C-alpha cells in the first residue's frame, strides 16, 4: 500500500450545531491540490459538478471549465450563474459521468470532482486523458457516518482507491484521508445533531437512524461527520 497522509480532527458537539451542508463544499486540501498545477492553459472537467461550486471556484484560474451532472435542475442553476457572471469559458452539460465518453467534450487535461466518484468515473477519466494529465478528487471514505452501520456505495477505502487508480492507468501523487469526529456527551446530543442538520428524516427513511440509535444506546459517543479520501494522480 502507498504512503497515505492522515489527518483527524476531534471536537465537542455544540448545541444546535448543523453539519452535513457545512461539509459539502470543496475543502482546502482539494483546492490546494488542484491549484498547485498551472491551470491557465488547461481544460478542466468537473465531474458531478452539481450547481457548480467547484467549477466556479476554479473558473478564474482555468483556461476552460466544463461541468457535467445528471441533474437538470442543478445544471440549469449553474448555467444561469455562469451567464450572470459572464463566464464565457465555462460551460455546463447535463450528462451521466458513468455512461459517456469524456473525449466527446473535446480535449481535456485535468479531471476534478468533489464527492462524486466511482471506479467507472476513474476508468473513463483514464481513457480520456493523455500521459501526464491529472485527476484530482475528494471522495467519501468508508468511515463517513460509520456509526450508522451503513456505508455509501460511493465511499472508498484506501486499498480500493489504489486499485482503481492503478487499473485505470494512473500513478498516485498524493493520497490522503481527512476525518472530523464529533464527540457527544449524551445520547440526546447525537439525536439533536441529526435533527439540527436536517438529516433525521433521510436517516429514518433509509434505515441509518435505527443503526445510529442502536450505536448510541450501546454507549457510542462519537460521530464521524466528515471522512474524505483526497487524491491526486497522473496518467501514466
**Correct CATH for 5-235 of 3.40.640.10, 3.40.50.150, 3.65.10.10, 3.30.56.10:** 3.40.50.150
Here the contacts of 213-218 (C-beta below 8 Å, separation 24 or greater) are 214/149, 215/147, 215/148, 215/149, 216/184, 216/187, 216/190, 216/191, 217/187
Neighbours of 213 (CB within 10 A): 17
Rg (CA), the chain: 19
Average pLDDT per 10 consecutive residues for the chain, totaling 236 residues: 93 81 82 97 97 97 97 98 97 98 97 97 98 98 96 92 98 97 96 92 94 97 97 98
Q: Which residues 6+ apart lie within 8 Å of 122 measured at CB?
A: 135, 164, 165, 168, 170
Contact 174, 150 (CB under 8 A): no
What is the pTM for the complete model shown?
Answer: 0.95
Count of C-beta atoms within a 10 Å radius of residue 4: 15
Tell me, what's the pLDDT at 153? 83
Contact 147, 222 (CB under 8 A): yes
Interatomic CA distance for residues 146 and 152, integer angstroms: 9
Residue 22 and residue 39: Cα distance in Å, rounded?
A: 27
Q: Where are the domains of the chain?
A: 5-235
Amino acid at each position: 500500500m502507498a504512503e497515505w497522509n492522515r489527518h483527524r480532527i476531534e471536537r465537542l458537539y455544540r448545541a444546535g450545531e448543523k453539519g452535513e451542508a457545512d461539509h459539502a463544499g470543496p475543502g482546502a486540501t482539494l483546492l490546494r491540490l488542484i491549484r498547485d498545477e498551472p491551470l491557465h492553459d488547461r481544460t478542466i472537467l468537473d465531474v458531478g459538478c452539481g450547481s457548480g461550486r467547484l467549477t466556479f471556484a476554479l473558473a478564474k484560474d482555468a483556461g476552460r471549465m466544463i461541468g457535467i451532472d445528471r441533474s437538470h435542475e442543478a445544471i440549469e442553476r449553474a448555467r444561469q450563474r455562469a451567464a450572470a457572471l459572464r463566464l464565457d469559458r465555462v460551460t455546463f452539460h447535463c450528462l451521466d459521468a458513468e455512461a459517456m465518453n469524456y473525449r466527446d467534450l473535446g480535449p481535456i487535461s485535468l479531471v476534478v470532482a468533489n464527492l462524486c466518484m466511482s471506479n467507472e468515473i476513474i476508468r473513463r477519466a483514464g481513457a480520456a486523458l493523455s500521459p501526464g494529465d491529472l485527476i484530482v478528487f475528494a471522495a467519501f471514505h468508508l468511515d463517513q457516518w460509520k456509526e450508522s452501520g451503513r456505508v455509501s456505495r460511493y465511499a472508498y477505502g484506501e486499498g480500493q482507491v489504489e486499485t482503481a487508480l492503478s487499473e485505470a492507468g494512473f500513478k498516485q501523487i498524493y493520497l490522503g484521508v481527512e476525518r472530523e469526529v464529533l464527540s457527544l456527551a449524551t445520547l440526546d446530543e447525537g439525536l439533536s445533531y441529526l435533527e439540527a442538520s436536517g438529516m433525521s428524516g433521510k436517516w429514518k427513511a433509509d434505515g441509518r437512524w435505527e443503526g445510529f440509535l442502536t450505536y448510541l444506546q450501546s454507549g457510542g459517543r462519537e460521530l464521524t461527520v466528515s471522512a474524505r479520501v483526497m487524491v491526486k494522480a497522473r496518467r501514466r
